[in-house]
């Protein structure tokens, strides 16, 4: 889901079956989902969106960002 932290980033709704990557958006400290090949545009996930991961989710830093918390919550809900 997109929120106020992406106020200055172009965004659009997610599409069914779309492959997404996590990214840090240019000129911000904000991380979120973007489509492969379109990394400067935030992809917004609507409430209730289900995610599937190709491999185990990994975090490159020791800090827990909102994105990592969101992914943890999604993994818990999907089982």
pTM beyond 0.75: no
Q: Which conformational region is residue 7 in: left (phi greater than 0), alpha (psi within -120 to 50 degrees), or beta?
A: alpha
Give CA–CA dist 66/19, Å, rounded.
Answer: 20
Q: Is the pLDDT of residue 71 over 80?
A: no
- What range defines the domain where residue 44 resides? 4-78
Q: How many domains does the chain have?
A: 1
Structure confidence by residue, pLDDT tens digits, 2-45: 666 677 888 999 998 899 998 888 888 888 899 998 988 999 98
Give CA–CA dist 59/11, Å, rounded.
Answer: 23
Give CA–CA dist 7/69, Å, rounded.
Answer: 20
């Amino acid at each position: 889901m997109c929120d106020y932290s992406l106020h200055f980033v172009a965004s659009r709704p997610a599409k069914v079956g779309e492959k997404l990557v996590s990214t840090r958006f240019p000129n911000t400290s904000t991380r979120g989902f973007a489509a492969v090949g379109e990394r400067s545009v935030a992809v917004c996930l609507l409430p209730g969106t289900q995610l599937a991961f190709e491999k185990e989710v990994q975090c490159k830093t020791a800090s827990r960002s909102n994105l990592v918390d969101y992914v943890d919550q999604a993994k818990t809900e999907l089982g």
